[in-house]
A and B are shown apart, each in its own frame.
Chain A
Amino acid sequence: MNSKLIVDNISKVFPARKMATATQALKNFSLEVGNGEFVCIVGPSGCGKTTLLKIIAGLETASQGSVRLNGNKVEAPGPERGMVFQDFALYPWRDVVGNVEFGPEMRYLPRSERSEISQKYVSLVGMEGNEHKYPAQLSGGMKQRVAIARALANKPDILLMDEPFGSLDAQTRFVMQNELLRIWNEDRKAVIFVTHNVEEAVYLAERVVVMTAGPGAVKGIYPIALSYPRSRADHGFISLREKITDSITEEVKLI
C-alpha cells in the first residue's frame, strides 16, 4: 500500500466540564493522505479542523478510531509529524538558527550536523542573512518561514499546518503561498493544510477536503486537477472555488 497517513473513522468528544456541556468535535472522520501529497482541509469555523490536526499530531487523543502513519499507530507527538501553528509559536529567546535547530538539538545531534541542517532549511525558506535575528525582530511572514524551517529540520514525513497564514496580511499571504509551494516542490513532504480560506485551498492543494459543521466529518473531497503554478483568474480555478464555497455555505446555514 502506497498511502502514508491513514485517518480511520476518528471521533472526538470533549467531556462536559464545569461551565460547558460535552461537545462532539469530530464524528467518523476518515482520510488518507499519500506520500508527498498536498491536502487542504476547509470547513466552517468550529468544525473541528484544529482538533483533527492535533489528533494527527498526537497532541490530542481520539475518543474513537485511529491514526496510522506508515502503518504505525499514532499515540503521542513525534518528530515525524511536523506542525506549524497560526501564531508561529517561535521561541522568543532563540534566534532564527536556534529555533530551526530546536528539533535536532532535542535529538542530541552533534553541533556540526545541527548547523548543517539549519543552514539547509534556513536557506530553503529564504531566510539567509537573518540567521541571528530574534523572532521579535522579524515580520509575520518571516516568522512563519522560520516556523516552517523548524518543522522541516526534523525531516518529518508529513507537515501539519494549522491556518499558518491566517494572521498575515493579504500581500504577505500570497507571497507565502508561493513560497510554500516552492518549498513543497523541493522538499516533497506530505502536507495537511487547514484553512478557512477556500481560494487559498484551491490555490495550494492537490485535493481539498470539505468538512461538515460540527461535529466535523468529511462532507466532500475535491481533487484539484490544475497544474502549478495556478492562476486565480483561470476558469477552472474559479468554478472549483465557487463549488467548494457553496458546499461550505450550506454547512454554515445549518448552524
Chain B
Amino acid sequence: MADLPQLFPTPVAVVVAFKDLLIAEGPAGLPWAGELIGNMLVSLWRVIVGFCLAAVTGVLLGVIAGWWPRARDLVEPVVEIIRPIPPLAWVPLAMLWFGLGFRPAVFLIWLGAFFPILSNTVLGMESTPKNLIEVSKTLGANSRQILFKVGIPSALPSIMAGLRIGLGIGWMCLVAAELTGSNTGLGYLIMYYYSTMEAAKMVAGMLTIGLVGVLAFIGLKKLEDRLVFWRELE
C-alpha cells in the first residue's frame, strides 16, 4: 500500500512535480513546450474553439428566441428537455460520434457552455425596457434598428454574464472530456498520473487547471467591464 506522503503530497513535492512536468517532453506536436505547458495549450485550444462555437451559436439563437416570442416557443421545449442532461452524460455519445481527442472535447465544451449563454441571452433580450423600445420608435427607428441599436446593447450585460458562466462550465466539461475521451490535455495528464500513482503530479495538473481557469475568467471579466462600461458608472 502506498504511504501517506504519496497519497497526500506535500507542497514541496507538488513544486517538484511542477518542475518535472515543465521539463518533461510535451505531447505529440508540442514536444518543445514541455509536458505541462504542452498539455495546457492542447486543453486551452479545445476550450477556445468549443467556447467560441458556443458563444456564436448561443448568442445568435438567444437573440432570435429572446426577441421574437414565436421563435422562443419553438426553441424553448427542445432546450428545456436537453438542458437538464448533465454534459457528463454526453461523454459516451460524444466518443461514439467523434472518437477521441479534439473533436469530442470541443463538442462537450460547446454543449456545456451553450445553455447558460443561450438562456442568459434570451433573458437579456426579453428584458429590454419597454420604454426604450417605445422611445426609439418615436425617434424614427425601424424594427431592425431597434433590434441592433436597442435590444442587443441592452441585453449585453446579461449576454456577458452568460458568457462568463458558459466559460466556467465549458472548462469543467473539458476536464470531464479529457479524463476519458482523450490522450492529451490536462484532464488526460491527471488521469495518466493516477495510473502511475503519482499524486503530486496529479495535484500539479489540477492546480494548472485552476490557474488557467481563473486567468480566463479574469480576462473575460475585464472584457465585460469594458463592453458594459456604463454599469460601472452607476
Contact = CB atoms under 8 A, between A and B. Distances in A.
A89 B141 CA distance: 15
A89 B129 contact: yes
B136 interface: yes
A92 B230 contact: yes
A67 to B, nearest CB: 14
Contacts of A93: 153-154, 156, 229-230
B233 A137 contact: yes
A60 to B, nearest CB: 10
Given A89-B129, A93-B156, A83 B230 contact: no
Interface in A64-83: 76-79, 81-83
B140 interface: yes
A27 interface: no
A78 B140 contact: yes
Interface string B107-149: 0000000000000000000000101101111111110010001
Contacts of A134: 230, 233
Contact of A81 (B136, B138, B154): B138
Interface stretch (A7-15, A102-110, A233-241): A102-110
A226 interface: no
A222 interface: no
Contacts of B134: 54, 57, 59, 77, 83, 85, 89
A133 B144 CA distance: 27
Contacts of A137: 233
Contacts of B131: 85, 87, 89
Q: Which of B131, B139, B149, B230 has the most CB of A within 10 A?
A: B139
Interface string A100-121: 0011011100000000000000
Given A59-B134, A85-B131, A103 B139 contact: yes
Contacts of B149: 102, 105-106
B13 interface: no
Nearest to A82: B138
B64 interface: no
B138 A106 contact: no
Contact of A106 (B139, B153, B234): B139
A193 to B, nearest CB: 16
Contacts of A150: 139
B150 interface: yes
Given A77-B134, A93-B156, 15 more contacts: A59-B137, A78-B140, A81-B138, A83-B134, A85-B135, A103-B139, A105-B149, A106-B139, A106-B141, A106-B142, A134-B230, A134-B233, A135-B230, A151-B138, A160-B138
